[in-house]
């Protein structure tokens, strides 16, 4: 009987070890920049609960959703809802958002003027060339009075919807190239992750979005993983007081939690 019990105990121990050894880490996609820092901090909290998480950074905004759809990652946290909606519509992805993340303020930067009021008629301003971030940039410029928008302009607003009495030249570029364009244009509307990677200081932006932005980031998963308990627990840890404090201390208001 003792031998049988010992054999059962040994088998159970081996099964536990094997399960631990071969348990796949939670793979989380994020765009390069500060978003990844927040996920890495959360991963340390998750490790204390036995959840192993691997943060995978992408430099191309189209790749995190493609990787998620393909099953190469388990969730991503890099995009706002309009961007996700557009990708689902255009590419047929079976991806949904499951929680709000943070507001990462888009900003207007310049190496040639010190205030948006200094932009002269005919000045050039570069903006992202993807539809959703392009609309976001146009709304920010309209808020500053640089341009106007036609009545009824929504989240899919494009250059055709711009009222432009000052004759501002809007230059559409890939988002990653916008910081480099500062030498060639009078101002540029840049998302925070690319601004930080380029060494720009958000506090020195001519204008930043605030916590009322409609473009807060979201956690996204495939529909068949919406109730995955490990993913849900990681997101709960992400939206914890500890992570909020980390964000507020580390980024000093340039990234705004939604919880």
Q: CA of 106: how far to CAs of 58, 68, 102, 151, 173, in Å?
A: 19, 25, 12, 23, 15
Provide the whole-model pTM: 0.71
The two structure tokens encoding residue 142: 């309209």
What is 107-208's CATH superfamily?
Periplasmic binding protein-like II (3.40.190.10)
Residues of the chain with CATH 3.40.190.10: 29-104+214-257, 107-208
Q: What is the share, in percent, of the chain residues with pLDDT greater than 70?
A: 91
Measured distance CA(128)–CA(59) in Å, rounded: 15
pLDDT interval class at 21 (50, 70, 90): very low
H or E element that contains 97? strand 95-100
The tens digit of pLDDT for each residue in 101-135 reads: 999 899 999 999 999 999 999 999 999 998 888 99
Does the pLDDT at position 3 exceed 70? no
**CATH 3.40.50.720 for domain 29-104+214-257:** no
Does the pLDDT at position 9 exceed 60? no
Measured distance CA(2)–CA(9) in Å, rounded: 10
């Amino acid at each position: 009987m003792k031998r049988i019990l010992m054999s059962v105990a040994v088998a159970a121990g081996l099964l536990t070890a094997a399960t631990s050894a071969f348990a796949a880490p939670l793979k989380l996609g994020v765009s390069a920049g500060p978003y990844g820092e927040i996920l890495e901090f959360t991963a340390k909290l998750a490790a204390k609960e036995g959840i192993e998480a691997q943060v995978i950074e992408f430099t191309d905004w189209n790749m995190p959703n493609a990787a998620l759809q393909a099953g190469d990652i388990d969730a991503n946290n890099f995009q706002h809802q309009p961007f996700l909606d557009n990708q689902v519509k255009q590419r047929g992805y079976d991806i949904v958002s499951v929680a709000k993340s943070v507001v990462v303020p888009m900003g207007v930067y310049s190496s040639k003027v010190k205030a948006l009021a200094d932009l002269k008629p005919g000045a050039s301003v570069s903006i992202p060339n993807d539809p959703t971030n392009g609309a976001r940039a146009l709304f920010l410029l309209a808020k500053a009075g640089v341009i106007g928008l036609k009545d009824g302009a929504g989240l899919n607003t494009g250059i055709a919807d711009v009222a432009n009495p000052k004759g501002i030249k809007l230059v559409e570029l890939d988002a990653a190239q916008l910081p480099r364009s500062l030498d060639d244009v009078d101002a540029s509307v840049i998302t925070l992750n690319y601004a930080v990677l380029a060494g720009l200081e958000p506090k020195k932006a001519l204008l930043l979005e605030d916590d009322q932005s409609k473009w807060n980031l979201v956690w996204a998963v495939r529909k068949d993983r919406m109730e995955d308990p490990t993913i849900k627990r990681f997101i709960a840890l992400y939206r914890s007081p500890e992570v909020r404090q980390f964000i507020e201390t580390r980024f000093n208001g340039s990234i705004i939690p939604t919880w």
